[in-house]
């Protein structure tokens, strides 16, 4: 079987409690967030098959990854991937310095894929919060995840090299860019992913770009979160929905104008369509932002 990527939104962070808390730099998890990690750990059925853990370098994603999936020595260290960081340049979405990360997490993390300027979200940066930059960054992240998964063997000696499972913890807003799935974002929200929600994907070649790969949700993952009567959207339907949803979530994700105006403002506002996912624990409405 091809590698399976389990994408996870981080547990509740302090910034999810109020708009004022978005001024906190790189906030940690709340006690409820830690409980959500424990619940995810108990519910996740693929622990024995995991070959690698990957996370955005923000503290809330590292901590979610460690609490929900950490433990076995074979999964250490957690690989940090700077292209997985959250969308906006609000303080809560700007990470800590490499020195601070190494001081806090030590050899529990592998920060070699985190560049020194990863906290720079100014115009012209790889990480600036514009649709064009976010789309390009999502492509880089998909390719990096494909390479990481391809380098791993199975979760134990009974699995072959193509059977690797990788858990990846990132952020609610960025997950829509990463998966290019814009379905199921409730009205007035920034994301269709609740705290500690996970969905499972496999790679497929992008039909219109030989340098890109797609993430295709597995049938098991889709059935786990959707009624039997609902079918996944086609690629054409997703493209049409993308423009609409990105227009709506831009203000919530603080996406800035720039680049191709039509495509730009369309890529950010992943806010609301027909499926309201009330999945794992979520707290108040602020939990639906980043």
pLDDT in tens, 90-140: 999 999 999 999 999 999 999 999 999 999 999 999 999 999 999 999 999
pLDDT of residue 128: 98
CATH class, 4-288 region:
alpha beta
Residue 144 has pLDDT above 60, yes or no: yes
Residue 269 has pLDDT above 70, yes or no: no
CA distance 270 to 244: 8
* Band of pLDDT at residue 152, cut at 50, 70 and 90: confident
CA distance 147 to 164: 12
Q: Which helix (H) or strand (E) holds 147?
A: helix 131-150
* Band of pLDDT at residue 287, cut at 50, 70 and 90: low
pLDDT of residue 271: 31
Full-model pTM = 0.88
256-271 mean pLDDT = 47
Q: Percent of the chain at pLDDT above 70?
A: 86
Q: Percent of the chain at pLDDT above 90?
A: 78
CA distance 59 to 62: 5
More confident residue, 210 or 152: 210
Residue 274 has pLDDT above 90, yes or no: no
pLDDT of residue 72: 82
* Band of pLDDT at residue 270, cut at 50, 70 and 90: very low
C-alpha distances in Å from residue 50, one per residue of 135, 157, 159, 168, 253:
28, 12, 11, 11, 31
273-285 mean pLDDT = 34
C-alpha distances in Å from residue 100, one per residue of 58, 97, 284:
11, 5, 30
Where along the chain do its domains lie?
Answer: 4-288
pLDDT of residue 153: 53
pLDDT of residue 283: 39
pLDDT, mean over the chain: 88
pLDDT 10s digits, 65-100: 999 999 888 899 999 999 999 999 999 999 999 999
pLDDT of residue 1: 76
CA distance 251 to 35: 30
More confident residue, 206 or 193: 193
């Amino acid at each position: 079987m091809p590698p399976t990527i389990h994408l996870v939104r981080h547990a509740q962070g302090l910034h999810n409690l109020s708009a004022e808390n978005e001024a906190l730099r790189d906030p940690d998890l709340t006690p409820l967030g830690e409980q959500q990690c424990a619940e995810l750990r108990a519910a996740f059925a693929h622990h024995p098959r995991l070959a690698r853990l990957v996370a955005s370098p923000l503290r809330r994603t590292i901590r979610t990854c460690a609490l929900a999936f950490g433990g076995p020595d074979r999964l250490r260290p957690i690989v940090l991937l700077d292209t997985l960081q959250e969308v906006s340049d609000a303080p809560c979405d700007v990470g800590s310095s490499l020195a601070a990360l190494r001081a806090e997490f030590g050899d529990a993390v592998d920060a070699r894929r985190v560049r020194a300027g990863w906290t720079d979200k100014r115009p012209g940066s790889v990480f600036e919060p514009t649709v064009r930059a976010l789309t390009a960054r999502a492509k880089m992240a998909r390719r990096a995840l494909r390479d990481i998964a391809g380098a791993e063997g199975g979760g134990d000696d009974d699995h072959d090299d193509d059977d690797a499972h990788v858990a990846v913890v990132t952020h609610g807003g960025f997950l829509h860019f990463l998966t290019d799935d814009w379905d199921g974002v409730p009205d007035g929200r920034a994301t269709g992913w609740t705290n500690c929600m996970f969905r499972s994907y496999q790679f497929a070649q992008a039909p219109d770009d030989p340098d890109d790969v797609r993430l295709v949700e597995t049938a098991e993952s889709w059935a786990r979160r959707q009624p039997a009567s609902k079918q996944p959207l086609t690629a054409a339907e997703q493209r049409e929905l993308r423009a609409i949803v990105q227009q709506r979530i831009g203000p919530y994700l603080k996406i800035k104008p720039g680049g191709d105006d039509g495509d730009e403002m369309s890529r950010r506002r992943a806010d609301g369509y027909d499926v309201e996912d009330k999945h794992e624990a979520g707290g108040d409405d602020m939990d639906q932002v980043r």
